[in-house]
């Protein structure tokens, strides 16, 4: 069961600060219930708050940029976020334990167990999420396309997304993905944005590693929001072209397979709501249109305009998914209902890739990184 939450984008934009404040409050609560020394409890809460103000979300940019160790800027707020998730989980378990009836012998036993579990269970879950965050899966998906041209049937499309090369995902990690991708022998290879996170991340290294990707008909890509924020869109396109890759920025390419053609479109992330009308002139009637767009929010517009298949990323598959009362919850649901996997609308399809890297927290729960191989099928 997937619950689509109200799309409150302001919560998405401030979730780091909200998580920190909630986590600090949860830590103080849990510390008091577990009889932790007040000096240690409140001192740690103050330390976490100060460190987050210095490093988290660049709240004080001058101090943030003054830190010489670039990776520390990612790992410190990342570990703070993990700590906050741990203390929030512990506080919830403690509250559940204390809701049992009073003066019950079994309650005392349960409280002792729940107190231990308050940190043991969340620590185990979060620890596993950190350790396995790079264990990518190869997901093979058949997508049925109405009236798919004969010579496009069986075409194998490889998609990777959201690499975020940097502190949490290294060149060695990306090399493993590229090697595995080449072993799948795709007909086309696509990269749907967010090669890096900030302008100080190793973009050139990422592009060099991606240039090793091989497919029968080239490697294509589109820009993500982090290329936009880092202001490296022009450089990314130019350098990628030098390395044999083509990142499409409101552009199209006509690709021929036998007697059939595939019209490939790519759009930038920025102002997509305003720029989506631009794709009208890029569409090809009576041709299979495939759109590369970093954010899946383009899907309703793309489907309405007659795009048969859209490939997106951006969501990281929710990155941290929590099961509560049979429902899957994640922060991405606050922003979009297209979180991960395959969706269809009015005869059009979109595949939302869960990505490879992470952002904010070096952690994945319920959203393993993926390489996707899509096989086009006639419906």
| 88-101: pLDDT as tens digits | 888 887 776 655 55
With cut-offs at 50, 70 and 90, classify the pLDDT of residue 343.
very high
What pLDDT does 7 receive? 45
Range 283-306 average pLDDT? 92
What pLDDT was estimated at residue 8? 44
At 336, is the pLDDT very low, low, confident or very high (cuts 50, 70, 90)?
A: confident
Please give the full DSSP string across 77-142, using - where no structure is assigned: HHHHHHHHHHHHHHHHHHHHHHTSPSS-HHHHHHHHHHHHHHHHHHHHHHHHHHHTTT--EEEEEE
Token match 């690499």: residue?
A: 163
pLDDT of residue 311 exceeding 60, the answer is yes
State the DSSP code for 365: B
- Region 48-70: mean pLDDT is 71
Nearest to 159 by CA among 32, 272, 296, 10: 296
Residue 326 structure tokens: 């049979």
Query: What value does the mean pLDDT take over residues 251-277?
Result: 84
Q: Among 19-33, 228-242, 318-332, whose mean pLDDT is lowest?
A: 318-332
When pLDDT is averaged across residues 35-53 and rounded to a whole number, the result is: 88
State the average pLDDT for the chain: 85
Burial label, 137 (beta-carbon count in 10 A; 0-12, 13-18, 19+): exposed
C-beta atoms surrounding 43 within 10 Å: 11
CA–CA distance, 123 with 89 (Å, rounded to integer): 9
Tokens of 367: 């959203």
Stretch (H or E) spanning 205: helix 203-210
Helix/strand/coil for 51: helix
Check residue 76 and give its pLDDT: 81
* 29 pLDDT above the threshold of 70: yes
Strand 245-247 and strand 251-257: the pairing is: unpaired
Alpha-carbon span 307 to 302, nearest angstrom: 5
Q: Tokens at residue 181, please?
A: 């991708």
d(CA 295, CA 269): 7
Under the banding of pLDDT at 50, 70 and 90, the label for residue 2 is very low
CATH of region 137-378: 3.60.21.10
pLDDT, mean of residues 156-176? 96
Residue extents of the structural domains in the chain = 9-131, 137-378
Sign of CA pseudo-dihedral 326, 366, 351, 5: positive
CA 311 to chain CA centroid, nearest Å:
14
330 or 196: which leads in pLDDT: 196
The C-alpha angle 295, 209, 203, rounded to 5 degrees, equals 60
What local confidence, expressed as pLDDT, does residue 320 receive?
84
pLDDT band at 20, cuts 50/70/90?
Answer: confident
Q: For helices 70-98 and 38-55, what crossing angle results, to 10°?
A: 140
Does the pLDDT at position 4 exceed 50? no
CA distances from 272 to 250, 277, 301 (A): 10, 9, 10
SS3 193: coil
For residue 278, pLDDT over 80 is answered with: no
pLDDT of 378 reads 92
Mean pLDDT value of segment 108-124:
61
Does pLDDT of 3 surpass 60? Answer: no
């Amino acid at each position: 069961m997937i619950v689509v939450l109200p799309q409150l984008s302001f919560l998405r934009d401030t979730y780091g600060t909200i998580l920190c404040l909630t986590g600090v409050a949860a830590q103080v609560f849990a510390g008091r219930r577990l009889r932790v020394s007040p000096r240690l409890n409140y001192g740690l809460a103050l330390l976490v708050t100060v460190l987050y103000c210095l490093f988290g979300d660049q709240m004080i940019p001058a101090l943030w940029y003054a830190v010489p160790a670039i990776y520390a800027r990612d790992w410190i707020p990342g570990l703070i976020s993990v700590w906050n998730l741990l203390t929030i989980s512990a506080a919830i378990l403690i509250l559940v334990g204390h809701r049992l009836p009073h003066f019950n012998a079994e309650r005392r036993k349960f409280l002792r167990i729940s107190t231990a579990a308050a940190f043991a269970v969340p620590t185990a879950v979060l620890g596993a999420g950190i350790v396995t965050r790079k264990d990518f899966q190869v997901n093979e998906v058949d997508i049925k396309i109405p009236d798919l041209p004969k010579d496009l049937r069986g075409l194998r499309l490889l998609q990777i997304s959201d690499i975020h090369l940097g502190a949490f995902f290294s060149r060695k990690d990306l090399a493993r993905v590229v090697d595995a991708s080449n072993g799948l022998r795709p007909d086309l290879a696509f990269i749907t944005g967010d090669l890096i996170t900030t302008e100080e991340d190793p973009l050139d290294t990422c592009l060099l590693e991606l240039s090793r990707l091989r497919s029968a008909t080239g490697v294509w890509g589109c820009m993500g929001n982090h290329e936009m924020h880092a202001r490296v869109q022009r450089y990314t396109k130019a350098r990628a072209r030098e390395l044999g890759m083509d990142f499409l920025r409101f552009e199209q390419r006509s690709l021929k397979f036998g007697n059939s053609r595939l019209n490939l479109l790519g759009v930038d992330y920025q102002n997509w709501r305003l720029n989506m009308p631009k794709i009208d002139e890029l569409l090809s009637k009576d041709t299979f249109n495939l759109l590369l767009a970093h954010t899946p929010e383009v899907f309703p517009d793309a489907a309405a305009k007659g795009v048969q298949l859209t490939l997106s990323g951006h969501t990281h598959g929710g990155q941290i998914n929590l099961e509560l009362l049979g429902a899957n919850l994640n922060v991405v649901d606050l922003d979009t209902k297209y979180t991960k996997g395959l969706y269809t609308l009015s005869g059009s399809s979109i595949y939302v890739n869960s990505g490879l890297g992470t952002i904010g927290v070096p952690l994945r729960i319920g959203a393993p990184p993926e390489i996707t191989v899509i096989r086009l099928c006639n419906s």
